[in-house]
Amino acid sequence: MTLEQGWHVGTGEGKDTTSRLKQVLEAGHFAITAEVVPPAGTEAHLLMDKARDLHGLADAVNVTDGAGARAHMCSLAAAAILHEHGIEPILQLTCRDRNRIALQSDLLGAAALGIRNLLILRGDDPSAGDQPDAKAVFDLDSRALTETAIGIRDRKELPSGRAVQGDAPFFIGGADAPIDPPADWEPKGLMAKVDAGTQFVQTQFCMDPEVVRRYTARLADFGLTEKLYVLIGVAPLASAKSARWMKEKLFGVTIPDAIVDRMDKAGDPKAEGRAICAELLQQLSEIPGVSGAHIMAPLNESSIPEVIDRSGLTKRR
């Protein structure tokens, strides 16, 4: 979309004011979101080469914000590029790299660019990245940043009390890691996010439908599935080796041994990984309390469109 076609900067005329992802979820459809890591590059086509095939398949596409504590094209620019090409973005904002003034400026800029969906995160520690001497900011935590976005959206003011001109109809998300809940487990972290104003969550990888079923049942016991939308993280695994690495190295990941064994025995592991992921989407769509799925595939993003297409879920609406 060009300025002449519909942005009309300064007037608000012709701007799309509603998150399509929110509309899909409110209608009770099983939503599918995907994730792309912006390139370490300066040309828009490098991002679109990754995202183009998701057009018309994913309900929205996350652009990560310095994933792995490494520099990439900034998520705000990447989200604007997707929006311009007709792909609804989910802008990831981390608290790691910017102080509150910069984060507030990014929120205002996002609203001006027509970006509606936010995923607010703490961010990986710089020690995990390729420039470990970088200084972390963490001026705000994810709850405070969520509250800042809500103040801009609902009260049209910055935390200082300064008025904000114009609308910012944000649909605000956070992260969670599903667990197989012990008898005495309470989802206190998620309850705090809901209290802060989080409207949806995208979770860490959880490739076990039965764990998901027990997890969302516990959320329902606390009334959370009536207050926010839960999108479960899944992956088209590339190999048994990568599945084992994810299980051992990534916090909060659940991948059953049966899936690892299936990948081990596959003649074409990548094809098997895509088939498993499509099957999981079907299974998740039948679990009460699950509103959708979030597909992440680091270094294997080209597999995502086929997985969504094979599931058939976005074609049923």
Please tell me the pTM assigned to this model: 0.93
DSSP codes of every residue in 248-304: HHSTT-B--HHHHHHHHH-SSHHHHHHHHHHHHHHHHTTSTT--EEEE--TT-GGGH
Q: Where are the beta strands (DSSP E) in 111-209?
A: 117-121, 171-176, 200-205
**How far apart are the C-alpha atoms of 206 and 247, rounded to whole Å?**
10
pLDDT of residue 15: 52
Sequence-separated (6 or more) residues with CB below 8 Å from residue 159: 100, 104, 148, 151
pLDDT of residue 121: 97
**Cβ-count burial of 268 within 10 angstroms (0-12 exposed, 13-18 middle, 19+ buried)?**
exposed
117-121 vs 89-94, strand pairing mode: parallel
Number of Cβ within a 10 Å radius of residue 180: 15
DSSP codes of every residue in 185-223: ---HHHHHHHHHT--EEEEEEB--HHHHHHHHHHHHHTT
pLDDT tens, per residue, the chain with 317 residues: 443 344 433 333 445 578 999 999 999 999 999 999 999 999 999 999 999 999 999 999 999 999 999 999 999 999 999 999 999 999 999 999 999 999 999 999 999 999 999 999 999 899 989 999 999 999 999 999 999 999 999 999 999 999 999 999 999 999 999 999 999 999 999 999 999 999 999 999 999 999 999 999 999 999 999 999 999 999 999 999 999 999 999 999 999 999 999 999 999 999 999 999 999 999 999 999 999 999 999 878 999 999 999 999 987 66
Sole residue written with tokens 């939308």 = 229
pLDDT of residue 258: 97
Task: Note whether 169 and 116 are within 8 A (CB).
Answer: yes
Per CATH, domain 18-315 is 3.40.50.720: no
